[in-house]
Amino acid sequence: MNYLKNHLSLILALVSILFSIEVYFIFNKIVTNYSQKIANNYNIIIVSNKPIKNLNLKTISQIDPINIESSLQNLKQNLQGFDIKKLKSELPYFYKLHFSKFPTPNEIEELTMQLKKIPSIKKIETFRANQNRIYNLLILTKTISIIFMAIILFISFLLILKQMEVWKLEHNERMYIMDLFGAPFLLKSGVLLRLAIIDSIISVIIIGIVITFILNSNLYQNILNQLGITINVNILIDLSLFFSISIIVSIISTIIVIFSKKSKN
């Protein structure tokens, strides 16, 4: 029981840290992926007097002429004596501008200004209101995930500090006695370092199980299906990263305990 108590606080703190980081990673991937999806669907429509082949604007990935043939055919069917050739020759050119990534409202603003400087362009339709709403929603989602991560990290940090105090009380006397007999650093701190490494491994295993469960859950899959995106999470890479993070955090905590003991003496 005592052994469990010894480990639980640090494991809990480490699991919280790793979980919040993983949640941030997943949120980030979802937002990036969804942004890309929206970027693929989102475009600006421009009307020009002259044909346009290239605009040389870095945010624009592609320019597609809008095929108005079907609209004209509809008109022809509805209106008697409609001269489609004459109308075609008088109509301007319609284009859809595609983006390389989901643009920010500022980027849209800037692009509009640049397009207005081109004399042949008569009309620009950005659908800005709709775009702003989606963009703000994405930013809000991202911000919430960062705030969530920051809060969890802060609470976990407090938990680790508390655990360090417990460790200090538990191990101070042993380390002091070993110090009196001239034990080197590694021998003196061996128990704590072993605790730290074991706790890191346990934390990574727990977080591995939790992530696997979440990624395979119906709720998570339904959300991705509804958003129409797929997220690739390489669990092995994430776990390696988490193992490094938890080892670093726990060893730094251990070293702080050891050195605070040393300075106290």
Partner 1 sequence: MSKVITAKNLKLGYKNEDIIIDASFSIKTGEFIFLTGASGSGKTTILKHLYGELKPKDGFLQIGNFDMNKISHSKLLYLRRFIGIVFQDYKLIKDWTIEKNVKLPLIIAGIKEEKAQKKVDKLLAKVKLTHKAENYPYELSGGEQQRAAVIRAIINEPVMILADEPTGNLDDFSAKVVMDLFTFANQLGITVVIATHHLPKDFSIPYRNIHIEGKKLYELS
| List 65, 105, 184, 228, residue binding partner 1 (CB under 8 A) | 184
Interface map 119-158 toward partner 1 (x if CB under 8 A): ----------------------------------------
Cβ proximity to partner 1: between 188 and 247 the closer is 188
DSSP state, residue 100: S
In the complex, least distance from residue 187 CB atom to partner 1, rounded to whole angstroms: 7
Interface map 223-262 toward partner 1 (x if CB under 8 A): ---------------------------------------x
Cβ proximity to partner 1: between 25 and 176 the closer is 176
Residue 195 phi, psi (nearest 5): -60, -45
User: CB-based burial of residue 217 (10 Å sphere; 0-12 exposed, 13-18 middle, 19+ buried)?
Assistant: exposed
- Select from 59, 130, 123 the least CA-distant residue to 95: 123
In this structure, is the dihedral angle defined by the CA atoms of residues 217, 246, 154 and 175, taken in order, positive or negative?
positive
| Span of 13-21, 57-65, 66-74, 170-178 interacting with partner 1 by CB under 8 A | 170-178
| Span of 89-97, 126-134, 135-143, 183-191 interacting with partner 1 by CB under 8 A | 183-191
Q: How far is 25 from 238, CA to CA, in rounded Å?
A: 9
Of residues 31 through 70, those in contact with partner 1 by CB under 8 A are none
| List 137, 173, 240, 260, residue binding partner 1 (CB under 8 A) | 173
What does DSSP say about strands 121-125 and 60-65: parallel, antiparallel, or unpaired? unpaired
Q: For residue 217, what are the contacts with CB-CB under 8 A and spacing of at least 6? A: none
Q: How far is 167 from 170, CA to CA, in rounded Å?
A: 5
Q: How far is 53 from 178, CA to CA, in rounded Å?
A: 79
| List 67, 78, 230, 265, residue binding partner 1 (CB under 8 A) | 265
Structure token pair of residue 26: 């997943």
Cβ proximity to partner 1: between 119 and 182 the closer is 182
Residues near partner 1 (CB under 8 A) are 173-174, 177-184, 187, 262, 265
